[in-house]
Amino acid sequence: MFFKNLKKETKIHETFNHELKKTRESFFSKIKNLFLKKSKIDTSIVDHIEEILLSADIGTQTTIKIINNLEERIRIDKYKNLQDIYNILKEEIKNLFIHIENLCLEKKISKNNKKKPYVILIVGVNGVGKTTTIGKLAFFLKKKGFHVIIGAADTFRAAAIDQLEIWANKAGVPLIKQHMHSDPASVAYDTLQSAKSKQTDVVLIDTAGRLQNRISLMEELSKICRVMKKIIPESPHEIMLILDATTGQNAFEQVRQFTYFVQVSSIILTKIEGTAKGGVVIGIMDQFKIPIQYLGTGEKIQDLKVFDDKKFIDCFFIK
């Protein structure tokens, strides 16, 4: 019966949205094939599951945790059939997720209504799609009814300011900018002043992503935060890290670097549609306890989706 249900429900997953297609086809197909080929539980099944988890870039530390828990439950509860093992694996992965219902960005912005604006500092290395994502996030929040303003505080690259202006225009939101090599903290200050005077709901502050110069980056981010507090003492309310899902294990190192500098409160994972290694989501949430807020799922301005942990897990497993 388990195998019949597995084959039947695989067809349902063929209609699943394309945002997580490559991850689903890679991980889900390997899991499906493993369980279809097995007629009974043997010692090799756990080894095969471990290989599949590692191939999805879940990470060694998190994979070991899942496998240890899986083996312990098999040993203690004496599970005898494949359906049980399948369900346990799904449960163990689900237990690693941070549910963000109470951390929903839109709810937090709304609660801050009497103390406008809600300030979000955007961090991330160059090349992860940070500028594009800021434009998408501005557009997303504007569609939700919020008034948004962007501050172009990545003054290290002229292209960053120009590109951000293009995306701000696409989103239909104002941009505060200065010339290249201006003081980033000065841009942040001007942006918050403007937002406060206009009772703007949300401020998005772009920052440079020069990880190769860690000390300068840390000092720059610290200065931006100090200057912003002069206008909005609680700011930044949110520090959002942009990660490129296609970088796999390198994304872990980026989280380590930025959490060393600042207290990252949430993550936007970009280019998720272009990778089979979406398992990086699981490892990051487990190891760093930082929730994923949004997924970048394409090149268009509307291609930003709220991260849905249930949908994500169901793309790995059959419902």
d(CA 248, CA 228): 33
Is the backbone of residue 249 left (phi > 0), alpha (psi -120 to 50) or beta? alpha
**Per-residue model confidence as pLDDT tens digits over 18-38:** 666 666 666 767 777 777 666
Domain ranges of the chain: 2-94, 102-307
* pLDDT-based confidence at residue 13 (cuts at 50, 70, 90): very low
**Per-residue model confidence as pLDDT tens digits over 220-268:** 888 999 999 999 999 999 999 999 888 877 888 889 888 888 899 999 9
d(CA 186, CA 164): 17
d(CA 102, CA 244): 25
d(CA 223, CA 207): 12
* Better-scored residue on pLDDT, 277 or 110: 110
Grouping H, G, I as helix, E, B as strand and the rest as coil, residue 226 is helix
d(CA 237, CA 232): 9
Let me know if domain 102-307 sits in CATH 3.40.50.300.
yes
Contact between 193 and 181 under an 8 Å Cβ cutoff? The reply is no
pTM: 0.86
Residue 158 tokens, joined: 């002229």
Enumerate the β-bridge partners of residue 269. Answer: 243, 295
* Same fold: 2-94 with 102-307: no
The count of other CB atoms within 10 Å of the CB of residue 107 is: 12
What's the topology of domain 2-94? Four Helix Bundle (Hemerythrin (Met), subunit A) (1.20.120)
- What's the mean per-residue pLDDT of the chain? 83
Residue 12 tokens, joined: 């349902």
Contact between 177 and 142 under an 8 Å Cβ cutoff? The reply is no
**Per-residue model confidence as pLDDT tens digits over 192-220:** 999 999 999 999 999 988 765 677 777 88
Enumerate the β-bridge partners of residue 204. Answer: 120, 150
pLDDT of amino acid 14: 43
